[in-house]
Structure 1
């Protein structure tokens, strides 16, 4: 898909100017394509329907510079006068409220996306149709007060949901639909309780038909062929439902956008920046989400919501204002619009501390929106992600590598592992691709990596990456697994080559933790980082005895024009958990050894906690024609106020110098906020300038 998009873009550039404008005009009719969303979502508790005032709601949206509203419509309960018996009507609902909200929003140029949630039904419906609802392998239901979780293969979702959406579209001139909590239920998410694979009779029957006779599994066992088939079944049924919805909506009105958390048959992929449930805290959540979705699904618009609530059991307490500011600025810098999700409307809100931040940043986006949302990446490093919602040790390995790159100010794109095979041509453009504990790749994805490697792209694999494909591990890295899982605590690494490990001149032993896989590197060209034995633990009097094991923690293999490096230990997870600089230094030394340009694209004295995001941009205004060659835009986000698990106001930073690789001589360098010129130099293909001061955020335009 991305290859096709690239070809079409190239053809577009070859068209006469008049044809380009015509093409742009065709795209412009789909309002979301402009990618300048400033969303406020009012997640209305049922009782707030009694007091919601359309006039004050719209006045607040205007005050906060929002151009898009997400508001409840139906599913769990109807916030409009439904005629469908399969849908429970909110007893606080006022018949004209939704119509008035939509009408008044449209009068003020504000789009309205209505929210549906088909994950649950009211107990009154459950009592009549228990067969529509989830049932666990133990016969349990997922219940939240008087709402019962449903089965997506039962009639309510397979038929009733389409009736509800059709009814709303027939009654109201909506601009979009948002689907909350789509997909299969295995958890009581609001109580944090796992119950297991849905055993509804509709699921059993459909799975039996799909699998040609298999029994629906009761356990999530990745070694069970029936469970592997079930994962395939879930994707098939999810895509089938999404396509049917897409066809229904677009048949009624092509200009109604579909927005949800999946990628197939949607117009806007929604993601969420939520409060961390554990430590260490992750301050790059919005950058992570938007970068990941944008480069994995480049034909979609991404809208990453800053979730106000601290958690499901703390909905009326918001996260800190400084955290919200970082999220919103990271949205802008990575190419998303602004998106905020809150409980209820903005009047009488229980925690208004964020209002000043929201007002400031939404107004800033509105004022400068011509410079946002029409970007192309400059990055030459790609980081492979384990998922859009990663978790567990693979997430920690991935985030640790991401943290190293962020702090070193190395631009990078994030691509989902499952999308590698769809990005084969794009991968060849990168100087280096990083595979942090990446497994489960298809044969097509492996071939895409091999093709990129042969063409000159280097690869870095960490921990157990590709260990589930012994032939690929041998072909690409010249490595064989001897022991896949081994606790590295107590072992040490020796940085044995000063020409590679330039940042480790004062260290001769590097501590280890977590997994340390044992590999045979006989098929590699070279090996480095000798592993020392665990030695003697105990009091100071007896410690020591760390001797070479004959094993190594790094190997290189050249194929074609590219070099592949494997680091079979948890280098990313160690940095994510503990933050010791030597592990970052090993990784950066390796990256610089195989791809020196990585640390040369942006040379700066900016502190590690100033996040830098560099993009090619095109003016995103009424005359926009898809061009992204108006220049470069450098975003600076100040994270110096982040302190482990707490967010304070950032400290001002002064005198930040830059030397940025630039393939054109700039006409001017200016501050986005003031449009005042910044003195610059241009030598040897690099533009140099100084940002005199940075508060919470800044942006610099480097214009052609």
Structure 2
């Protein structure tokens, strides 16, 4: 079997200079967030459950807040529930490896015992009033203190020397601004933070976090992350390093989760968003998006809808990420709905694991984003994400500009972030669509000014430029707007606010202007279009067809030829992927998503698809059948007779 053969070559890829196991093997990852009481668990039973589920990676509690093995390192304490003479972590490592299941050890150094605080209070997070942050008897450490930067390395060295782990994962990395109950704890004012901040920025720590302070914390985390990565490489060169950071790690961790107070609308593309962005921002790293089965921190034993668990799994596979499932405690759950949903999907993925090995995106459209978006930027980005998905335009997401010149993208779409590097990309023949009320970081149109909140309209002056808007003369405008120098012949113009009531007065003072609501120019050998208002945010919130139609026409003007054409419903998410010369079309049925609910999706019938290129054969993997293909005008056409929740179509040249 592929799994056994890969495990026999445990780590040999790194020795030969090739990527590690996390890139060379299909990953089916189960995370167990163990409680301290689970130190006495039956490791053999868990290993058997994992094997029956066909998981091939398990993330297990190893140390930090408490150790699940006998430790001799100072200021590191075994769980009080670890039986005398028992080595729980060592036992699961042996049991799992015997079944060809890799083990990633989990450490959490964000908190530790009171005894450590009493011995070294300078290692800990200190509020502005000098008090520590204490939660359930545990004291929060500081990323810049001696615990993270010294003692942690000793703890890790012991674990790495003692156990042949396949990787390490770090939870709650760095200083957390809130506790598990959502209480804001403020910024750390320990001596180490104050000195480091003063030395680097020549100022005192602010009362509230600003951009400079956030960069300070990120840089502090990067420094510790780099040191940990170096230590792992020295002690266990074949082990992977997994964290919620992009830098210095082998796998980029993220979460698809829920919370009772999360703002609406809910985001059904969470897993697609996380995995797409990670895989295309750092293609040499694996995206491990944790499929969190619980509702919120206060209800860790209550599961989210089973259909939501399944949807996340299909999305992870469709974007080339690891298949994951997270539980609190062991697999002997009190609410088994999520587990009973995950198990058959894991088993199916194991039976077809070759289809998911070495996947990468074939998309020639890039949606550019940035790390650390605020809520307004997030809404704009999500609206564009939805539009691309609903229009069935294959796209990659990236926050990394190293792709410039390295990948043949036909079009780059920027939302609220157009860095100066994009100018050269366009000048050299690229095509850029900027959808933002924020001007780009390079000279483009002549900016007159920016208005923070405009409640007006956009007038369609030239319907020939926007054929999808043939029945629409006015589009809603609400939010920021950058006023550009007026000029004639602009196909979209601003209609400023006017009277809204009573009905007898509605817009009787409406005035048209020559202020452009779109700017399009040739720039060097390329072309740029700028929509100086937040269409993405409006669509995310209101989903107006006119905004979708405008977006469709803007994309078509810049990229007349689509990679994929289909009659599929907008709630069929589709990705275009490649592996070893094969082209894959993944289809995910999102029709079960409704407001705050996720139901089983409504089956779709007769989905017609045309993929650019000439292919001789197509087959479905879930449907297990060959499809009739025809080639017309350079596109290979086929039909998917039925889509339940997910389907994979493989095309052969």
Q: 1:668 aligns with which of 617, 631, 640?
A: 617
**Partners of 1:454 and 1:561 within 8 A in 2:** yes
**Partners of 2:438 and 2:482 within 8 A in 1:** no
**2:323 aligned residue:** 338
Matched, 1:602 2:564: yes
Structure 1 unaligned runs (5+)?
A: 1-21, 223-227, 619-628
Matched, 1:534 2:534: no
Flag the 1:521–1:237 CA change in 2: closer, same or farther, 3 A. Answer: farther
**Partners of 1:177 and 1:257 within 8 A in 2:** yes
**1:462 aligned residue:** 435
**1:252 aligned residue:** 235
Q: Counterpart of 2:460 in 1: which secondary structure?
A: coil
Q: Counterpart of 1:269 in 2: which secondary structure?
A: strand
**1:354 aligned residue:** 338
**1:325 aligned residue:** 310
Flag the 1:461–1:117 CA change in 2: closer, same or farther, 3 A. Answer: same
Q: Counterpart of 2:553 in 1: which secondary structure?
A: helix
**Partners of 1:671 and 1:678 within 8 A in 2:** yes
**1:298 aligned residue:** 283
Shift of 1:28: 6.7
For the aligned residue pairs, the C-alpha RMSD in angstroms reads 2.1
Q: Counterpart of 1:374 in 2: which secondary structure?
A: coil
**Partners of 1:488 and 1:512 within 8 A in 2:** yes
Shift of 1:89: 2.7
Matched, 1:154 2:145: yes
Q: 1:498 aligns with which of 444, 463, 468?
A: 463
**2:119 aligned residue:** 128
**1:241 aligned residue:** 224
List per-residue Cα deviations over 1:382-408 (Å, max 9, x = no partner). 101132x64401000000001011000
Q: Counterpart of 2:494 in 1: which secondary structure?
A: strand
Worse-superposed segment, 62-71 or 117-126:
117-126
After TM superposition, list the pairs within 5 Å mapping 1:96-495 onto structure 2. 96-188=87-179, 190-211=180-201, 213-222=202-211, 228=212, 230-275=213-258, 277-347=262-332, 349-387=333-371, 390-416=373-399, 419-420=400-401, 422-426=402-406, 429-438=408-417, 441=419, 446-447=420-421, 449-466=422-439, 469=441, 472=442, 475=443, 477-482=444-449, 484-489=450-455, 491-495=456-460
1: CA distance, partners of 2:13 / 2:224: 31
**Partners of 1:305 and 1:340 within 8 A in 2:** yes
2: CA distance, partners of 1:29 / 1:294: 14
**2:4 aligned residue:** none
**1:632 aligned residue:** 583
**2:24 aligned residue:** 34
TM, length-normalised to structure 2: 0.93
Matched, 1:659 2:610: yes
Worse-superposed segment, 320-329 or 132-141:
132-141
2: CA distance, partners of 1:321 / 1:158: 41
Shift of 1:270: 1.2
Shift of 1:526: 6.2
List per-residue Cα deviations over 1:633-665 (Å, max 9, x = no partner). 110101111112210101111111111101xx3
Shift of 1:675: 4.2
Shift of 1:531: 1.4
**Partners of 1:400 and 1:576 within 8 A in 2:** yes
Q: Counterpart of 1:613 in 2: which secondary structure?
A: strand
List per-residue Cα deviations over 1:597-642 (Å, max 9, x = no partner). 2xx2211111110111111212xxxxxxxxxx2x211101011111
2: CA distance, partners of 1:424 / 1:404: 24
**2:640 aligned residue:** 691
**1:18 aligned residue:** none
Task: Give the count of matched residue pairs.
Answer: 637
